[in-house]
A and B are shown apart, each in its own frame.
Chain A
């Protein structure tokens, strides 16, 4: 299969699809305003395209983009799976568009659904109580660590440190720092997993929590997790589960059963909701029973057959408006309900099978393994970033590069459960073509996408942050 991406440029061929303001600008007079003269202007320049011009503009931009609907997207740790479109239909239903200030008695169906989703997520994670309020995965982390902090403070137990493995997601470090903790970085062992001796040395009376992803960023299951949990618990700390890789365990293993006390769910990775990009998201948080009194306000519970909002006894307060981003939660619910127990088990099986199949097909060295949902290959003598640019020429999205730093020139690859064997073979062919390409071919890449090699240094040194700045050359 050969790939050439649509490329729309202006007449000079050096600027992409012109901005709307360049294509169809109109100057509008501004009528008298009640505002003071020095705060107003006489006219305003605004794009005013005809509807077909507008539709073509955005279609052209989408043709110059690459998404999971264009081809495989194995960006490791991000879980760029395909979101089935029926979830959008469910969230777009008119009866889902209710005002969040309506009295509980008039929205019993909605609250029942929230309650049921809390229950589903609790059962999937092995947690006793779940809040749906946090608006993103990182917000879920922050909420979870705030709950851990509230728990220690409630027990008059002053603790100042959070322990995090060096392979952890950057958000873990940011979360601990935002919550006011000192970060203690834990070096990985030779097998890519938590080094028990290093953990014993790092954990103590000051440890508020250990934040852990399981399987970890290398796609390896932390086999000693129960021992890890004992070490942290014996020191009086809590065990935090970063749900980034939960799609590897769905229906097969539960963080709660491994000894985790608090966790967040990345609904965009584990279930089927759009990936961030600044739009609304959701990052529910699950906790053990003794932590449920600290959950954000409001929470939803059932009393005598009715559902209601309430404030938990020692709530950490609000982390988002109302009870979270409802349409995102509705998509999560729809996905879980459609798949059911068997479907969720099948999703995790495919996530693991796909990663291991692809790891076997590619010619780059793949240290460690066997894997769960992802693996980290090494580009070896090649520069991983150049190899990634070259993969674009073969019509696939490249993996995450140069991270984790445990593997040299890392190509962190996660095909996800939604790829078929055909698309995995297409991915493998792209990896293997790049592996045998010359350094010169890598340095010039990419040639086939709409955008060629981006000059990141100039873009960062001279950022133009508004369309008006385009004239400042």
Chain B
């Protein structure tokens, strides 16, 4: 089974994606991650204004199979969180790269994205 790995994103080995545009970034988990987790039943996200550090956990995704931490791909300040996930955690399963986004960041240092996996490197990891 092959999973969608959009070419305009960068990835973490722990299965988060990030879309960086200038000094803003959008973060979520990958299609592969949601399939491994199974039906997501609860998502815990930080407050707006929270400071995230690259590589550290910022929230929790709970599925019927597992409870997993999710990690920040880059450092920055949270400017928005996807409130729909509170009542519709299934969006993470249905549309992980779209309506299932988790949060938006104001990025501290754009060069941090250089350390992230390219789409090809992430494809290699999950195959």
Contact = CB atoms under 8 A, between A and B. Distances in A.
Contacts of A460: 39, 41-42, 62, 64
A461 B89 CA distance: 8
Give the dominant DSSP class at B's interface.
loop
B10 to A, nearest CB: 28
B38 to A, nearest CB: 8
Contacts of A456: 39, 64
Nearest to A402: B65
Interface in A429-473: 456-457, 460-461
Contacts of B16: none
Interface residues of B, number: 8
A113 B108 CA distance: 68
Interface string B18-48: 0000000000000000000001011000000
Nearest to A462: B41
Interface in B74-127: 89-90
A461 B90 CA distance: 9
A457 B42 contact: no
Contacts of A461: 41-42, 89-90
Interface string B42-65: 100000000000000000001011
Nearest to B65: A402
Contacts of A402: 65
Contacts of B42: 460-461
Contacts of B65: 402
A402 B39 CA distance: 16
Contacts of B41: 457, 460-461
A389 B39 CA distance: 18
A460 B64 CA distance: 7
B63 to A, nearest CB: 8
B93 to A, nearest CB: 9
A379 to B, nearest CB: 16
A456 B65 CA distance: 10
A402 B37 CA distance: 13
Nearest to B40: A457
A456 B64 CA distance: 7
Contacts of B90: 457, 461
Contacts of B64: 456-457, 460
Contacts of B62: 460
A119 B64 CA distance: 44
Contacts of A457: 39, 41, 64, 90
Nearest to B93: A457
Interface string A398-420: 00001000000000000000000
Given A456-B39, A460-B39, A461-B90, 13 more contacts: A402-B65, A456-B64, A457-B39, A457-B41, A457-B64, A457-B90, A460-B41, A460-B42, A460-B62, A460-B64, A461-B41, A461-B42, A461-B89
Interface of A: 402, 456-457, 460-461
6 contacts: A456-B39, A457-B41, A457-B64, A461-B41, A461-B42, A461-B90
The 10 tightest CB contacts between A and B, nearest first, are A457-B39, A460-B41, A456-B64, A461-B41, A457-B64, A460-B64, A457-B41, A461-B89, A456-B39, A460-B42
